[in-house]
Amino acid sequence: MREIVLDTETTGLDPKTGDRLIEIGGIEIINRIPTGVEFHRFINPERNVPMEAQNVHGISTEFLIGKPLFREVYRDFLAFIGDDILVIHNAQFDVNFLNHELGLVGEKPLSFDRVVDTLALARRRHPAGPNSLDALCKRYGIDTSQRTKHGAIVDSLLLAEVYVELLGERQATFGLQTIGSGAATSERRNGKRAAAKPRPEPLPSRLTEADLVAHRSFIEKMGAKAIWNRFWGAVTS
């Protein structure tokens, strides 16, 4: 099952008073496991970024000069999310901003029916709180050392880990879980797991030719008895 873990940064709290999107970040997860496929754009809001907002996310008015306008990136964004479920923390905030921007370019709004709000999940599971993203990361022992300020991609990556914890799925399903069809739901209720559907297109390798050359060079230094030679063939001197 494909889901998109999503986060945004803005100039303020309310699009109705003139605040705008300045960053969108999202990551693809398949059966709750990140695939490495990401969407990330900074956006020129055509207005200044107040200092109180800049203190939260570190994005300045000057930095956004020359960045694309929302109308220049929204088609790529919609293509990335497709019709899949959106996983967002405090979803009302982000979806309101996204729908405001989509309305300005004449696009239909995103439906809340396709949104999983992890803040609502957290409040049900931990009614005493606190349930901010930072607090949930601390509760579940998730490393936040790379997060000096709020940022859409970093927060999306952290939220993907929190999401798995909130669902009680720390033990990865490794593609064995299928959700959506009535048959799959019935099988789970009977204590069975539905067979995973193959990915339509294999994920591309992240190894470059330079990586492969460097690895082969490293293996050659290990000598003829290196176990890797069973897979790569004899090392020529």
Buried b (16+ CB within 10 A) or exposed e, 97-107: bbbbbbeeeeb
Q: Which of 57, 100, 126, 150 is catalytic?
A: 150
CA distances from 3 to 15, 37, 144 (A): 26, 11, 22
Q: Phi and psi (nearest 5°) for 140?
A: -100, 5
Distance CA(38)–CA(44), nearest Å, equals: 20
Q: Which residue has the tokens 């939260």?
A: 56
150 noted as active-site residue? yes
Extract the runs of DSSP E, i.e. beta strands, from the chain.
2-10, 21-30, 33-42, 85-88, 115-117
In single-letter form, the type of residue at position 225 comes to K
The answer to whether residues 61 and 51 touch, using CB atoms and an 8 Å cutoff, is no
Catalytic residue numbers read 150
